[in-house]
Amino acid sequence: MDNYFYSFKEQKAKEPLKGIKIRSVYLDNLMVTHMEFEPGSIIPELKHSNEQITLLLEGKMDMTVGKEKKTVVIQFKVESKP
Which pLDDT tens digit goes with each residue over 26-61?
Answer: 888 888 888 899 999 988 888 877 777 787 888 888
Domain boundaries, position 73: 48-82
Same domain, 1 and 36: yes
Same domain, 39 and 1: yes
Predicted confidence (pLDDT) at residue 21 exceeds the cutoff of 90: yes
Task: Give the pLDDT band (50/70/90) at residue 75.
Answer: low
pLDDT of residue 50: 75
Same domain, 1 and 40: yes
Residues ≥6 apart with Cβ < 8 Å to 71? 60, 61, 62, 63
Same domain, 58 and 38: no
Predicted confidence (pLDDT) at residue 20 exceeds the cutoff of 90: yes
Task: Give the pLDDT band (50/70/90) at residue 18.
Answer: very high
**Closest listed residue to residue 39, CA positions, set 20, 63, 54, 64:** 20
Q: CA-to-CA distance for 75 and 78, rounded, in angstroms?
A: 10
Q: CA-to-CA distance for 41 and 67, rounded, in angstroms?
A: 21
Same domain, 54 and 39: no
> In the chain, what is the straight-line distance between the N-terminal and C-terminal CA atoms, in Å?
27
Same domain, 30 and 53: no
